[in-house]
Structure formats: C-alpha cells, structure tokens
Amino acid sequence: MGTSLSLLNDEKRLCAEAVFYQHCLPTEPSNHYLLLPPAVRLAGNWTSVISRWGYGFHHWWMDALPRLAVLHELPPDTGILVHPKLDAYQVETLKLLGVEGRVRLTPERHLVVENYFFASATAMTGCRNAYAVEWLRQRFLRFADTEWESPRRFYIRRIGRHRGLVNEAEVIDFLQQRGWAIVDLESMPVRRQIQLFANAELVCGLHGAAFTNLLWSSSRCRILEICAANFLNGVYEGLAECLGVQHRFIICSADGAFVARVPMKDFQREIVAMETGL
C-alpha cells in the first residue's frame, strides 16, 4: 500500500524489511495515511522492486535491482512490479536482465496480490553492500560496449543538477591541460557507462550518483571524490572498498545550496599524486 507499495499482512502490520526497519519508519510514506483507494486485485505470481528507496540512479542499482537476485528461485511466470514511470537507463537494465516482458508499471497505491513473493533489499540503503556489488557485476559487466574506445582518465560533469562547483571551469581547464577527458553520463547508454568505468584508470568528480558506476571498476582504478563540507556521505568510499579501488577525497567549503568551491592548490596536488601513483 501507499506510494512505496510496502507489504502488509492481513492484520495490516507493516513488514519491517519492506520499510528499511525502525530507522526509516518515521518518514516511511506507507506509514502515514488516512484513507486508501479501493484495492486493485492482481491474480497470479508477483514480486516487486518498488520502495521508498527504489528510484533514482544510485538507488535503482543498489537498492532495487539486487532484489531480483532471487528471481530464479521463484515460479517462472512471476511478474515484477515497478514504478509507473521508468527512465531510459532503467528500461535498458531490465532488457539486459531479460525480464522486460515480465514488468508491470504500477501506479496503484493499494494492491491485493494473489501470490506475492517478497524479496527484501539486500542491505540498508547507502551502506556497504558486497552482496549487491558481486551480483550486479556478475550480471552486467558482460554487457560493456567493448567496441567503444573509452577514455581512461576522465572528469564527471554534473549538468543541470542541484549541488555543483562554483569554480568548475577552473577544475576542467586544469584537467584538460593534463589530457583528461570530460564526460557527461546523463546522456550515455548503460552499456557505455559500464565500458567507461571498466577501463578507467583515474576518475574525478563531485559526489553524486554517477559514482555508482564504480561497480564496474577494476582494482587498478583510482578515484578522487570532491565533497561539499556540508554534504558528506561515505557511500562511494564503501563501494570502492568492496572493489579494492583506491578512493581519495577532497572536502570543500560550500554554500547553503551545497555548491562547493574547490581549493585549487589542494586539488592540483591530489591529481598529481593520483597520476604518479602516490
């Protein structure tokens, strides 16, 4: 029920694993309602990847898709409930998994399912999740677009998004002078994103969902994550640790909108250290 389609039993008790346990319960959408619309009944076998944390690039990869790791244990006609609107990259991932024909776009807020196979998230959102990393690499690395000659040193731009760098032009100019490529992942198909990071040696960018692509990196990769001092999150440090990837970070002052300013002397020193393997 609710916008996150959380699981309830016949006594209307929420399943703790469906709402990320007590820590997230106070702000869980399915825990705050007065009235529900009439139930839509679904016959047959179903599972779901819908949750409060099931959308957006990072959450789709790390929280939603790994729930399908048990799909082979379910009846072969089991359908998959997904959010009512999917972005292009989400459609592409479902096609790569070969399950696009089993997907049901699900706008309803109240379902009664005949046979529901609940698959929980494989870890608390944002936490180190070696299980999801291993499963995703097994299922998706083979789809890398190997015909594309991807750059091995690159900076990830955040275009048209909240947060950002007030002196990004200065950062980009310094990196381009050193032979780094500038990439925009928003317009890049999933297969190319996998190829880009699978071949990466040096990666730099502002903290953001694009770093989820570290999933495809090898242990030879080294990254520098630019972090706003008032928006610190260790999720990609944990992801790098799972993969044996060297993770460096630089913390920058930022305004109330989390727009940061990179201290160029410190930044230049970190880049040189990465390039020389220090």
DSSP 59-96: HIIIIIGGGGGGGGGS-TT-EEEE-SS--HHHHHHHHH
Beta bridge partners of 104: 81
Q: Which of 92, 125, 97 is nearest to 4 (CA)?
A: 125
In order of their start, the domains of the chain are: 16-141 (no CATH), 144-276 (3.40.50)
CA 157 – CA 168 distance, rounded (Å): 9
The residue assigned the tokens 């819908």 is 50
Helix (H) or strand (E) run with residue 181 in it: strand 181-183
> pLDDT tens digits, the chain, 278 residues: what are they?
888 888 988 787 888 888 887 777 788 887 777 788 899 999 999 999 999 877 899 999 999 999 999 999 999 999 999 999 999 999 999 999 999 999 999 999 999 999 999 999 898 888 889 999 999 999 999 999 999 999 999 999 977 556 788 899 999 999 999 999 999 998 899 999 999 999 999 999 999 999 999 999 999 999 999 999 888 888 999 999 999 999 999 999 888 778 889 999 999 999 999 999 86
